[in-house]
Amino acid sequence: MERYRVRRLRTALLALTTAGGLLLTGCGAGEGSNSGGHRADDASNGQSLPAPGYNNSSGGTGEQKDTDDFGDSDSREFAPAPDYLSTFALDVDTASYGYARRTLAEGRLPDPSTVRPEEFVNSFRQDYDRPDGNGFTVTVDGARTDREDWSLVRVGLATRPAADAGERAPAALTFVIDISGSMGEPGRLDLAKDSLGVMTNRLRDDDSVALVTFSDEAETVLPMTRLDGNREEIHDAIDSLEPTDSTNLGAGMETGYETAVEGLKEGATNRVVLISDALANTGDTDADTILERIASERREHGITLFGVGVGSDYGDALMERLADKGDGHTVYVSDEADARKVFCDELPRNIDLTARDAKAQIAFDQETVSDFRLIGYDNRQVADEDFRDDSVDGGEIGPGHTVTALYAVHTRPGTSGHLATASVRWLDPKTRAPHEESGRLETGSLHDSLGGASPRFQVTATAAYFADALRGGDDTRGSLPGTPSLRELEERAEDLAKETEDRAVRQLAEAIGQADRAMG
Q: List pLDDT tens digits, range 438-497.
A: 999 999 999 999 999 999 999 999 999 999 999 984 443 347 899 999 999 999 999 999
Q: How confident is the model at residue 120 (pLDDT cuts 50, 70, 90)?
A: very high
- 43 pLDDT more than 90: no
Q: Residue 98 and residue 338: Cα distance in Å, rounded? A: 9
Helix (H, G, I), strand (E, B) or coil at 233: helix
pLDDT for residue 133: 84
Q: Residue 510 and residue 494: Cα distance in Å, rounded? A: 8
Nearest by Cα to 372 from 412, 414, 423: 412
pLDDT for residue 282: 81
pLDDT for residue 344: 83
**Cβ(323)–Cβ(330) under 8 Å?**
yes
Beta bridge partners, 416, equal none
Q: 420 Cβ partners below 8 Å, 6+ apart?
A: 140, 153, 362, 363, 364, 365, 369, 407, 409, 440, 441
Helix (H) / strand (E) containing 322:
helix 316-325
- 324 pLDDT more than 60: yes
Describe the strand order of the beta sheet including 27-28 as a list of residue ranges: 27-28, 38-39, 137-144, 150-158, 402-411, 369-374
Q: Residue 399 and residue 160: Cα distance in Å, rounded? A: 5
Q: Residue 341 and residue 330: Cα distance in Å, rounded? A: 14
Determine whether 243 is exposed, middle or buried from the number of CB atoms within 10 Å of its CB (0-12, 13-18, 19+): middle
Q: What is the pLDDT of residues 222-281, one digit of tens each?
A: 999 999 999 999 999 999 999 988 889 999 999 999 999 999 998 888 999 999 998 887
Helix (H, G, I), strand (E, B) or coil at 256: helix
pLDDT for residue 168: 82
Determine whether 123 is exposed, middle or buried from the number of CB atoms within 10 Å of its CB (0-12, 13-18, 19+): buried
Nearest by Cα to 188 from 242, 249, 246, 120: 242
Print burial letters for 310-340: b (CB count within 10 Å at least 16), e (below 16).
bbbebbbebbbbbbbbbbbbbbbbbeeebbb
Q: How confident is the model at residue 10 (pLDDT cuts 50, 70, 90)?
A: very low
Helix (H, G, I), strand (E, B) or coil at 36: coil
Range with the lowest mean pLDDT among 20-34, 116-130, 221-235?
20-34
- 328 pLDDT more than 60: yes
DSSP 141-205: EEEE-SSTTEEEEEEEEEPPPPPPGGGSPPEEEEEEEE-SGGGGSTTSHHHHHHHHHHHHHHS-T
Q: Read off the pTM.
A: 0.82
**Cβ(422)–Cβ(372) under 8 Å?**
no
* Mean pLDDT (whole number) for 84-95: 94
Q: Quick count: other Cβ atoms within 10 Å of Cβ 259? A: 24
As a whole-number percent, the residues of the chain with pLDDT over 90 amount to 61
Alpha-carbon dihedral of residues 86, 91, 97, 99, nearest 10 degrees? -130
* Mean pLDDT (whole number) for 1-12: 34
Instruction: Identify residue 435 by its one-letter amino acid code.
Output: H
- 48 pLDDT more than 50: no
* Mean pLDDT (whole number) for 192-201: 92
Q: Residue 312 and residue 103: Cα distance in Å, rounded? A: 7
Print burial letters for 196-214: b (CB count within 10 Å at least 16), e (below 16).
bbebbeebbeebbbbbbbb
Q: How confident is the model at residue 435 (pLDDT cuts 50, 70, 90)?
A: very high
**Cβ(177)–Cβ(168) under 8 Å?**
no
pLDDT for residue 346: 80
Q: Within its chain, how far is the Cα of 443 from the centroid?
A: 27
> Contacts for 336-343 with beta carbons within 8 Å, 24 or more apart?
336/191, 336/194, 336/195, 338/98, 339/191, 339/192, 339/194, 339/195, 340/195, 340/198, 342/195, 342/308, 343/195, 343/196, 343/198, 343/199, 343/308
Q: How confident is the model at residue 291 (pLDDT cuts 50, 70, 90)?
A: confident
Helix (H, G, I), strand (E, B) or coil at 370: strand
Q: How confident is the model at residue 35 (pLDDT cuts 50, 70, 90)?
A: very low
* Mean pLDDT (whole number) for 297-326: 86
Print burial letters for 92-102: b (CB count within 10 Å at least 16), e (below 16).
bbbbbbbbbbb
- 2 pLDDT more than 70: no
Q: What is the pLDDT of residues 356-373, one digit of tens each?
A: 999 999 999 999 999 999
Nearest by Cα to 75 from 484, 481, 475: 475
Using alpha carbons only, give the angle 489, 149, 450 rounded to the nearest 5 degrees: 30
* Mean pLDDT (whole number) for 57-65: 32
* Mean pLDDT (whole number) for 383-408: 94
* Mean pLDDT (whole number) for 118-147: 95
pLDDT for residue 296: 72
- 33 pLDDT more than 50: no
Nearest by Cα to 66 from 381, 422, 447, 373: 373
**Cβ(32)–Cβ(454) under 8 Å?**
yes
Print burial letters for 369-403: b (CB count within 10 Å at least 16), e (below 16).
bbbbbbbbbeebebebebbbebeebbbbbbbbbbb
Side-chain half-sphere CA neighbours of 197 within 13 A: 15
pLDDT for residue 166: 67
Q: 397 Cβ partners below 8 Å, 6+ apart?
A: 90, 92, 136, 159, 353, 354, 355, 358, 403, 426
* Mean pLDDT (whole number) for 115-143: 95
Average model confidence (pLDDT) for the chain? 83
